[in-house]
Structures are given as structure tokens and as C-alpha cells.
Structure 1
Amino acid sequence: MHDDLKKALEVLRNGGIILYPTDTIWGIGCDATNEEAVKRIYELKQRTDSKSMLVLLDNTAKLASYVNDIPEVAYDMAELTNKPLTIIYDDAKNLAKNLIAQDGSIGIRITEEEFSNQLCARFKKPLVSTSANVSGEDSPQQFDQISEVIKEGVDYIVEFRQEETKNPAPSSIIKIGKGGEIKIIRE
């Protein structure tokens, strides 16, 4: 895993995109503050940039760097959940403009998975995490289901966890408004 982290960090720091395991399914990722790298992911996925992507962080302490107003309930939910949870926050900041939704929101998940957590911690910036598929196609559940188009379109493919065959569950998704109101998007 150490060599994978080292190589992935080098690619990310140079504005590249990677294919990597997350706490849910395999993801395509890049520096979430790099507009050109984010653009490359949209192009690879053949997806319009009006459909935002989420980002991963390694801990809740970093949320305030990327969201202006974090309702207290968000910290509780992120820390108490027993499965991956993506929270959509209003008023994103310090991220690539083409990553933030038209309404100014951003989806953020705190990853507990070993590789993606270490990658976020060492990179010291949020990582884009979007499913490793062309838009409109099924999301691959395991590495061997990822299309060659995606594999050929990234700058580095992480080797760690490629052999796993379990079908991970997608994250739950909720939106928390500025007043703390919660809307469940996906359970």
C-alpha cells in the first residue's frame, strides 16, 4: 500500500487523475481544488459539469476549510454513522469552481477506508470521488468490472484492493441546510 500511496500522491500533486478504492466503490479522483483536473474527470466520464461530484476528506476537522457554515448536527451525523455517509452542504468554498453545484453546494464524505483515508491525510486536500464509469453506465462494484475506457483515461491505477470481490454498498446521502434541516436523498 505504501508504494501505491506514494505514486498516487505524486500524480495528484502534478494535476493528474487516479483510479482508486474508496469506502464504497472504486472511484476516479483528483485534487478537488484543481479546476483542470476536475475538467478531465468530467470529460473522461462524458458528463456535464452541471452534475457535481463529491469529495472525500479524512476527518471532520477539515470541513470548515471547504464549507462556510456547518450545522452542528453535521459533525454528530458524520461521527455517529456506522456506514459511509455523504453530506451535501450549502455554501462550498476553496474548491474548484466546476466541482461545486450550481446552487453552491458540495457533497462531502469522511472516509474511514484505509487507503482513501491515508491518501486524503497525506495529500492534505480534498479528493474528488466519483464512480469509475462513463456517465449513464452501471457503476462497477469491483475493480475487474471497470471499463478499459476509464482505465486508459487515468494517469495512475492503484493496485491495492484490486482483487476484492465483495459488492460494497453505496453511501447514504443527506442534505443539511444552513438551519440544520435534514433531507434524505438516498438511504
Structure 2
Amino acid sequence: MAQFIKIYNDKPNEAAIDKVVKVLRDGGLVIYPTDTVYGLGCDITNSRALEKIAKLKGVKLEKANFSFVCYDLSNLSDYVKQIDTATFKLLKRSLPGPYTFILPGNNNLPKEFKKKTTVGIRVPDNNIARALVEKLGNPIVSTSIHDDDEVLEYSTDPELIFEKWQNLVDVVIDGGYGDNEASTIIDLSGSEPVLVREGKGDPSIID
């Protein structure tokens, strides 16, 4: 059964963050808050954990559209081809924030994602998510937790999330109520920015 750990977004407790990071390093799955909906994540470098997430979501790992949650833009060069100044300025202006940016991937992608030409990058405006990534030292591969049978598309109440997921994941973080609006997805992999999905982030940033 998963651990249920309360962490406050305005001042994440270091011991609690350490506990969650240890689970991530050991190949565990973690449900954590972001600035949009709650996410399901694992350590990007752990193949076994990546397989587990893909299985939970019912998708083939190499076809999965997971995002990479980063602490800031310094992780970009690890996985993304060199981007032009205009793109970088747009990212810098919008992040941290409720956006997923699709960017061209480079050759350093983990072997599970080698076939992908693009990656989705997230830097959520949430202290808990960013503290986890900073402490872990590399991005978390993440996907939103979806409620197919609910009127609300996404679960927002951490206690209900725990009830539903406690036997499927290793940790559920209670970071307060989540949002039920997903991130705005913008594709920056082509010559012009393309709005893929309008969500919480203002799409007019690409105008």
C-alpha cells in the first residue's frame, strides 16, 4: 500500500521531499501535485519504473506521450536539440507555468524514448514538484492521472486519489486540492509554434 505524505506547497518539508525522492530512486511511482492536475511520475533514468507507468496507463512505452518535468530550463540541453533564441525567450517568459512545450529531442534521450523525435517539457509553477526534481537531480517522467468514469476529467482531492491509487503506486503526496484543468500544450518543434491543446496556460503567448 502506498504511503500518503502531506507536503505544504508554500514551504515543502525537506525530510518529506527526501523520503519521496528515495522512493523515486528505488524505481517507485509517485503521485504528486503540479500547478495544473495531479501527476503520476517516476525517475526518468529508471527503466523498470517507466515500464510500470506505461502499463498503468495501458500504453506501449515507446509510443507513450509522457512529459519530462524539469526544475528549470537548465535540464533542456540534456534532452532537447539546440533551440533558437526566440524559442528560448518564449520558454523563459512562460516557465515555470501551466504549459507543456513540445520540443525536438536529441540523441541523449533515455533508450525507451530513442524512437521519439520530440519531447514534452514541463516546468510546473509548484514548489513540491520542483523540489522533487531538484533533489532527484534529473527530470521526472510524468503523465496526468485521468478519471475516465468521473464527470471531472481529473482527480483533484488527494484523499480520493489515494483511495483509488493506493495499491498501484508507492507514494501519494497530499499537496492540497489540485486543479482540474490540464496544461496548455504548445508544439515548438516546427518552424511556427502550434497550439495543440488549450488548457490552464494562456495560449496568446505564441501570438
TM-score, structure 2 normalization: 0.76
- Deviations 1:97-125 (CA, angstroms, capped at 9, x unpaired): 3346x542110011221101111111110
Contact 2:35/2:179 (8 A) holds in 1? no
Q: Report how many aligned residue pairs link the two structures.
A: 181
Tell me how far 1:147 sits from its aligned partner: 6.6
SS of alignment partner, residue 25 of structure 1: coil
Partner-residue secondary structure (3-state), 2:138: coil
Correspondent of 1:140 among 115, 138, 155: 155
SS of the equivalent of 2:131 reads helix
Tell me which residue corresponds to 1:153. 168
Q: 1:92, 1:38 → 2: CA distance?
A: 19
- Alignment partner, residue 184 of structure 1: 195
Identity across aligned pairs (percent)?
28
Aligned counterparts of 2:36 and 2:107: Cα–Cα separation in 1: 25
Q: CA RMSD of the aligned region, Å?
A: 2.3
Match in the other structure for 1:14 = 26
**What displacement does 1:133 show?**
3.4
Q: TM-score, normalised by structure 1?
A: 0.84
Higher Cα radius of gyration: 2
Conserved in 1, the CA contact under 8 Å of 2:69 and 2:124?
yes
| CA positional deviation for 1:168 | 4.6
Rounded to whole Å, the distance in 2 between the matches of 1:33 and 1:77 is 28
Question: For 1:48-87, what per-residue CA distance to the aligned partner results, in whole angstroms no more than 9, with x for missing partners?
Answer: 3313211110111220111122232332222222741110
Equivalent in 108, 125, 134 of residue 94 of structure 1: 108
In structure 2, distance between residues paired with 1:104 and 1:60: 19
Bigger CA drift: 34-43 or 169-178?
169-178
Residue of structure 1 equivalent to 2:6? none
> How far has the Cα of 1:152 moved from its partner?
1.4
Distance 1:64 1:56 in 2: 14
| Inter-partner Cα distance in structure 2 for 1:26 and 1:120 | 15
**Residue pair 1:71, 1:176 contacting (<8 A) in 2 also:** no
* Structure 2 unaligned regions, length at least 5: 1-12, 199-207
